[in-house]
Amino acid sequence: MKPQKITGLLELIDSYNAELFKVIPFSSREQYVSLRRYAAAFLSAAYGKADISLQNADDLLPRAFKRFLLAKGHSQRTAHRNYRLLQRMIGSIDETGMLTGGMAIRKYSVKHEYLTEKELLRILGTRMPNERMQRVRDVFIFSCFTGLRHDDIRELTQADLAMCGDGRGCLIIGRKMTGMISYIPLMDIPFHIIVKYCGGDSEPLLPCITGEKTNYYLKEIGRACGLLKSLCFTMARNTFAGTVAYANGLPTESIARVMGDNGNPSFEQITQEDKDSIEAEFTALESRLEKYTDVFVI
């Protein structure tokens, strides 16, 4: 089928994202999903329309979009990032109204690193030479089995802990970056990490240091485990999405919910039906992860 000419701004965003999502990992899609939602709100407020013609999308439109986001209370960083993304998308259309050939591969060919099953097993089974490296390794592994960002983990306290219907521990948290609610049943590995470090009611659950120092020490940890990759914390989140969750049968919608995807407004609340479904899926997931649990050195 011959590609159709793109005529509308939201149509452009949808087409751009569809191409982009073919080459970037699941965990890297959030900002593009949120851009679409912000743009729809902007068009409704500024034009009273669900979409506008690309003929009206001149250089001034991204600037008006940025001012709209700031007026809605978004941070300067969020407003500028979405402004640049919209500029990039508008610039990806050629004179015929088509996305320029290979735009996604050309602009986003940088590989988003993650740990393979073999590499994750190596880190799980290696005891670190000192306590500092052991703490950083444990926090990294915690992210590999929960999908939490470093900033989210740093803010975890006893107040975020709850009990699943099946009696296991779980986390119920509002994600710092997206504001969505995540309900995360604790599988065996992250549960034992929390038990190891859990402090008082108001203390952080885990011994997090700054992101910069964490990434510095992760390089040491990678070498101690005999890995060729240069470790950084974002690899943990990608590892959860791909190696741990998707490769072992967790549905993509559940992965999105656990990881705080802000593209679905239904993720702003957690119903009992949602909890029951996620718990059942995590029970099935954990039954497929014995290879990791068996080698884990706590």
Please state the three-class secondary structure of the chain as a single string. CCCCCCCEHHHHHHHHHHHHCCCCCHHHCHHHHHHHHHHHHHHHHHHCCCCCEHHHCCCHHHHHHHHHHHHCCCCHHHHHHHHHHHHHHHHCECCCCCECCCHHHHHCCCCCCCCCHHHHHHHHCCCCCCHHHHHHHHHHHHHHCCCCCHHHHHCCCHHHEEECCCCCEEEEEECCCCCCEEEEECCHHHHHHHHHHCCCCCCCCCCCCCHHHHHHHHHHHHHHCCCCCCCCCHHHHHHHHHHHHHHHCCCHHHHHHHCCCCCCHHHHCCCHHHHHHHHHHHHHHHHCCHHHHHHCCC
pLDDT of residue 40: 94
Which of 90-104, 144-158, 194-208, 219-233 shows the lowest per-residue confidence on average (mean pLDDT)? 90-104
Identify whether residues 206 and 125 lie together within a single domain: yes
Identify whether residues 98 and 126 lie together within a single domain: no
The percent of residues above 90 in pLDDT, for the chain, comes to 51
Identify whether residues 278 and 238 lie together within a single domain: yes
Identify whether residues 215 and 279 lie together within a single domain: yes
Average pLDDT over residues 273-283: 91
Q: Is the pLDDT of residue 101 over 90?
A: no
Boundary (domain end) residue, out of 69, 84, 107:
107
Identify whether residues 170 and 231 lie together within a single domain: yes
Q: Is the pLDDT of residue 112 over 90?
A: no
pTM above 0.75, yes or no: no
Model confidence pLDDT, tens digit, residues 257-270: 888 765 455 555 77
Identify whether residues 158 and 76 lie together within a single domain: no
Identify whether residues 66 and 207 lie together within a single domain: no
Q: Is residue 62 part of a domain?
A: yes
Q: Cβ distance 261 to 180 under 8 Å?
A: yes
Cα(185)–Cα(48) distance, integer angstroms: 42
* Residue 244 token pair: 């741990």
Q: Is residue 288 part of a domain?
A: yes
Average pLDDT over residues 182-210: 88
Question: 185 - beta bridge partners?
Answer: 170
Identify whether residues 226 and 155 lie together within a single domain: yes
Q: Is residue 144 part of a domain?
A: yes
Residue span of the structural domain in which 254 resides: 117-295
Identify whether residues 96 and 131 lie together within a single domain: no
Boundary (domain end) residue, out of 88, 107, 126:
107
Which of 154-168, 184-198, 266-280 shows the lowest per-residue confidence on average (mean pLDDT)? 266-280
* CATH code, domain with 196: 1.10.443.10
Question: 93 - beta bridge partners?
Answer: 99
Q: Is residue 2 part of a domain?
A: no
- The total of structural domains in the chain comes to 2
Q: Is residue 227 part of a domain?
A: yes
Identify whether residues 138 and 253 lie together within a single domain: yes
Identify whether residues 123 and 259 lie together within a single domain: yes
pLDDT of residue 124: 97
Identify whether residues 207 and 181 lie together within a single domain: yes
Average pLDDT over residues 177-187: 80
Question: 182 - beta bridge partners?
Answer: 173
pLDDT of residue 294: 95
Boundary (domain end) residue, out of 81, 107, 133:
107
Q: Is the pLDDT of residue 15 over 60?
A: yes
Q: Is residue 3 part of a domain?
A: no
Confidence of residue 178 (pLDDT cuts 50, 70, 90): low
The percent of residues above 70 in pLDDT, for the chain, comes to 86
Cα(234)–Cα(221) distance, integer angstroms: 15
